């Protein structure tokens, strides 16, 4: 596997050379899912309750 020199990579191609979930110092950035909410989620929940 080859190492990519980030300085050589064009700005519009930079996203391919960097991981979004890793900080510059190498530690992991924890990503948490948000609770789904909204009109369709509420409707889907109500339909599921009725069908059960």
3-state SS, 9-38, equals CCHHHHHHHCCCCECCCCCECCCCCCCCCC
Q: Which domain holds residue 26?
A: 11-51
In a domain, 17, yes or no: yes
What are the C-alpha distances in Å from 16 to residues 10, 25, 41?
10, 18, 33
How many domains is the chain partitioned into structurally?
1
Cα Rg, the chain, nearest whole Å: 20
Q: Is the pLDDT of residue 49 over 80?
A: yes
Judge whether residue 10 has pLDDT over 70: no
Q: Is 3 contained in some domain?
A: no
Q: With cut-offs at 50, 70 and 90, classify the pLDDT of residue 25.
A: confident
Which pLDDT tens digit goes with each residue over 27-42? 888 888 999 999 999 9
| 30, part of any domain | yes
**5 located within any domain:** no
Establish if 45 belongs to a structural domain. Answer: yes
Say if residues 6 and 19 touch (Cβ distance below 8 Å).
no
Domain presence at residue 1: no
Is there a domain that residue 6 lies in?
no
């Amino acid at each position: 596997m080859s190492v990519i020199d980030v300085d050589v990579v064009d700005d519009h191609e930079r996203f391919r050379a960097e991981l979004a979930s890793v900080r510059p110092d190498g530690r992991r950035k924890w990503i948490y899912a948000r609770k789904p909410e909204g009109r369709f989620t509420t409707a889907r929940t109500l339909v599921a309750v009725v069908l059960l």
